[in-house]
Amino acid sequence: MNKIEQLFQQKKDILNIYLTAGFPKLADTVKIVLELEKAGVDMVEIGMPFSDPLADGPVIQHSSTEAIKNGIRLEMIFDQIREIRKHSQIPLILMGYLNQLMAYGEKAFLEEAAQCGVDGLIIPDLPVEIYQKQYKQMVEDLNLDMIFLISPQTETGRIKLLDAESRGFLYVVSSSSITGQKADLQQAQKSYFDRINRMNLRNPTLIGFGISDRKSYEAACRNASGAIIGSAFIRALEKEGLLKQHVHDFVKSIRS
């Protein structure tokens, strides 16, 4: 069992915060993660900035563009994670796109990720069928959790498949929207969440996309094991002032 699986056994109402590595400044990654942990966040998802992030909205794309301009590279992200691991055992997820893994060499990437202390991976453009054929054995041997996404359009049979292949948790996309667009966690959403909860999935679920404030976080907690917040946090980091203060203010605004 790795850190993500342990976390879900121990806690409810998980708060998972997304940040873009190398943003707003190249070296901020370590500081932000450690402050997030101090502020009480349960898990952190670190985005590997990509030039063409199809599954991300404009806020995260912008932060990725800035981070690339800052000079972020995969080697640096691995070093930053090593640095985090000297001080913290918070569960860490790396999020990125398959092209980045291919350029690094998939095997080398996975080994390096596991070695530096990553617990889980989210690769939104990796099809589950390709995962099964090419990567699953390697990922499981390294004790990494591969986390798959489901959306309101995902059919029951496919939800079962994605649940069967996910480890740690299943990422429930709150509405069919890209990240950063405020979701109305109401009627249609509710029946979607109820449908998932009735399925008795083997994994716990976290709701992401459009979770931006206390209200939507609490709604997510009523319908799943917790929530993932990305764009709203990135926006908070863009404000003038002390980074540390932004991190604590933001987390406080979500749950105190």
Partner 1 sequence: MNYSPDKYGFYGDFGGAFIPEMLYSNVELLRQNYVGIIESKSFQTAFKKLLQDYAGRPTPLYFARRLSEKYQTNIFLKREDLNHTGAHKINNTIGQILVAQRLGKKRIIAETGAGQHGVATATVAALMGLECIVYMGEVDMARQAPNVARMRMLGAEVRPAKSGSRTLKDATNEAIRDWINHPKDTYYLIGSVVGPHPYPDMVTRFQSVISREMKIQLLEKTGRDYPDKIIACVGGGSNAAGAFYHYLDRENVELIAVEAEGLGVDSGQTAATTQTGSKGIIHGSKTLLMQNEEGQITEPYSISAGLDYPGIGPLHAHLFKSRRGTFLGATDTEALQAAFELTRLEGIIPALESAHALAALKKIELHPGENVVINLSGRGDKDMETYLNHLDEYNNDKNGK
> Considering the complex, what minimum distance in angstroms separates the CB of residue 253 from partner 1?
26
Nearest CB to partner 1, comparing residues 88 and 181: 181
Alpha carbons 222 and 185: distance in angstroms, whole number: 11
DSSP character for 99? H
- Residues annotated as catalytic (active site), given as ranges: 45, 56
Alpha carbons 256 and 246: distance in angstroms, whole number: 15
> Considering the complex, what minimum distance in angstroms separates the CB of residue 159 from partner 1?
10
Peptide bond into 204 cis (omega under 30): no
> Considering the complex, what minimum distance in angstroms separates the CB of residue 176 from partner 1?
4
Task: Residue 168: name the closest of 128, 118, 134, 220 by CA.
Answer: 118
Nearest CB to partner 1, comparing residues 4 and 172: 172
**C-alpha distances in Å from residue 90, one per residue of 60, 95, 251:** 22, 16, 16
> Considering the complex, what minimum distance in angstroms separates the CB of residue 200 from partner 1?
21
Q: Which residues bind partner 1 (CB under 8 A)?
A: 50-52, 54-55, 57-58, 61-62, 65, 68, 73-74, 97-104, 124-127, 129-130, 148-155, 158, 162, 173, 176-178, 181
Alpha carbons 75 and 82: distance in angstroms, whole number: 11
Nearest CB to partner 1, comparing residues 34 and 77: 77
Residues with Cβ within 8 Å of 96's Cβ and at least 6 positions away in sequence, in order, are 47, 48, 50, 122, 123
Helix (H) or strand (E) holding 149: strand 149-150
DSSP character for 182? -
> Considering the complex, what minimum distance in angstroms separates the CB of residue 133 from partner 1?
10
Residue 238 tokens read as: 């863009």
> Considering the complex, what minimum distance in angstroms separates the CB of residue 254 from partner 1?
24
Task: Residue 134: name the closest of 183, 163, 101, 176 by CA.
Answer: 101
Residue 20, classified by CB atoms within 10 Å of its CB into exposed (0-12), middle (13-18) or buried (19+), is: buried
Q: To 5 degrees, how large is the angle CA 196–CA 54–CA 3?
A: 55
